[in-house]
Structure 1
Amino acid sequence: MKLIKLDAIDSTNDFLKSLASQDELDNFTVITAETQTKGKGQMGAKWLSESGKNLIMSALVKDFVFSNEQVFNLSIIVSLSVIDVLKSLDISDLSIKWPNDIMSYNKKIGGILIENTLKSDGRIVSVVGLGLNVNQTNYDELPNASSLAVIAGRSFDKDALPVLIVEKMKEKIKLWETNSTVFWNEYFNSLFRKGIPMPFKSLNTNNARQNFMGIIQGVSTIGKLQVLLEDDSVSEFDIKEIQMLY
């Protein structure tokens, strides 16, 4: 694993995508930064992080995703890898808020953003961005956020985390072909608020019903959230169509 450490950067994902476009980088090359000025979350949301306190990393993954239908498989690999590492650090009550926010209790402690690039030869190259709240303890402006330090009551060696997470990703990728069903079940079982009635907000402006109740049933093979509605029908939504209210 090649690790490139930066002090400050606009976005580790953008930096790694740029490097990958100019050079034949080794698989699982990792970029970390102490400060990120333009950190991104799902749908362009900003990722705010106190300098030097948290893990900001991006990893290059090649030769795993071969079609658009397989893209969500990598989300499962990454989410479960982070969960496994955090369990080994005795972080409790972990779950995955669809599609790939990492939760402890009801607080968000991490977010994953995977960006895929289709190469001219048909290969799909993925850049996996991860922001993980590690030693930051002040979340006055982010009431739904927390960190490993807050939850566990101690500080952590954040520089050890990239190696632990990437090694776990490599392990699961190697096992995917024979264990994909097991991993999908682990992902389903780890879903935040699965099987519990909860409110949702429709992000579709053409939908007359903006807020509605539903029960998360699971996730489709291409990553759409499956929700049981009040009329007993099950609908599928992508990230641009629905928001959980909790």
Structure 2
Amino acid sequence: MRIIKLNAIDSTNSFLKEMAQSSLLENFTVIVAKKQIKGRGQMGTSWLSEANKNLLCSVFVRFDSFPAMHKVLVNYAVSIALVNVLNSYKMPKVAIKWPNDILSSNKKICGILVENVMQKNEIKSSIIGVGLNVNQLNFPTNFNATSMLKEIETEVDIDEFLNLLIAELKTQISYITNSSTNVLKKNYLKHLYRKNIPAMFKNSKGVLFMGKIVDVSSIGKLQIELEDDSIKEFGIKEVSFV
């Protein structure tokens, strides 16, 4: 494992992606930045982070014979790895908010961005971006966010957390490569935020409806059971909690 530390960068994912295109990277090469100028989230959203206070990193993972139709397994593996490490720090009420957010005490503590490099129908590699609020205390008032320091009232060694995360990530990724994929989905669903709890949702057209999360499809869509007992699937940005 090779860890490259940078002071400031536009985006760790973009930097690592460029490296992967121009050189043969060691598996689990990691880029870590003290500050991101243009941190990115899902569907072009931005990630705001105070310099030197948080874990901003991207990890390169190479695959052999990994069908693109199973790409959701990478999201499962990363989410579970983060949950497991956060739980080891006794963080309260850690959960996965579909598709790629990690919560603590019902507030966002971490965002994940997975970008896959595909060839024909196979994923050759993944760039896994993680933005974790570690020692930051102040957030914009319109952000429902928290940090490790806010929750456990103890400063966390960011390098130590990173080492634990990479070790756990290797374990979870191994479940993809050795075909024990049922373990990943089972554990993802176990930690899925508000699973099987009736809630109010809003679709992309602004229409409100009642339902409950029951599953995630094989291609990563959220499955919500409606009041008439039918099940509807939603992609990223197509549904949100009210």
Q: Please give the per-residue CA displacement for 1:197-230, whole angstroms capped at 9, x wherever unaligned.
A: 1122212x4xxx6222210001111111000112
Measured in 1, the distance between the counterparts of 2:211 and 2:31 equals: 39
Measured in 1, the distance between the counterparts of 2:212 and 2:120 equals: 41
Shift of 1:179: 3.4
Question: After alignment, is 138-147 or 44-53 more displaced?
Answer: 138-147
Contact conserved, 1:64 with 1:173, CA < 8 A, in 2?
Answer: no
Measured in 2, the distance between the counterparts of 1:210 and 1:123 equals: 36
Query: Counterpart of 2:71 in 1: which secondary structure?
Result: helix
Measured in 1, the distance between the counterparts of 2:122 and 2:185 equals: 26
**Aligned to 1:225, which of 215, 222, 225?**
222
Shift of 1:92: 1.8
Tell me the TM-score normalised to structure 1 length.
Answer: 0.92
Shift of 1:40: 0.8
Shift of 1:57: 0.3
Measured in 1, the distance between the counterparts of 2:64 and 2:79 equals: 16
Contact conserved, 2:71 with 2:123, CA < 8 A, in 1?
Answer: no
Residues 103, 139 of structure 1: alpha-carbon distance in 2 compared, 3 angstrom cutoff: same
Query: Counterpart of 1:66 in 2: which secondary structure?
Result: strand
Residues 2, 235 of structure 1: alpha-carbon distance in 2 compared, 3 angstrom cutoff: same
Q: Please give the per-residue CA displacement for 1:129-164, whole angstroms capped at 9, x wherever unaligned.
A: 000000001124344100000000111001222221
Runs of 4+ deviating beyond 6 Å:
none
Task: Say yes or no: does 1:193 pair with 2:194.
Answer: yes
Task: Say yes or no: does 1:182 pair with 2:183.
Answer: yes
Residues 197, 118 of structure 1: alpha-carbon distance in 2 compared, 3 angstrom cutoff: same
Write 1 or 2 for the structure with the bigger share of strand: 2
Measured in 1, the distance between the counterparts of 2:179 and 2:13 equals: 30
Please, what is the CA RMSD of the aligned residues? 1.7
Gaps of 5+ in 1: none
Query: Counterpart of 2:180 in 1: which secondary structure?
Result: helix
Measured in 2, the distance between the counterparts of 1:122 and 1:114 equals: 15
Q: Please give the per-residue CA displacement for 1:43-70, whole angstroms capped at 9, x wherever unaligned.
A: 1111000111000000001116722211
Partner amino acid, structure 2, of 1:162: L
Determine the structure 1 residue equivalent to 2:40.
40
Partner amino acid, structure 1, of 2:23: D
In the TM superposition, what are the counterparts of 1:4-23 in structure 2 within 5 Å? 4-23=4-23
Contact conserved, 2:211 with 2:224, CA < 8 A, in 1?
Answer: yes
Measured in 1, the distance between the counterparts of 2:209 and 2:67 equals: 33
Query: Counterpart of 1:243 in 2: which secondary structure?
Result: strand
- Pairs aligned (count): 241
Percentage of pairs with the same residue: 44
In the TM superposition, what are the counterparts of 1:160-175 in structure 2 within 5 Å? 160-175=160-175
Partner amino acid, structure 2, of 1:244: F
Task: Say yes or no: does 1:211 pair with 2:208.
Answer: yes
Measured in 1, the distance between the counterparts of 2:121 and 2:2 equals: 24
Tell me the TM-score normalised to structure 2 length.
Answer: 0.94
Measured in 2, the distance between the counterparts of 1:235 and 1:140 equals: 34
Gaps of 5+ in 2: none
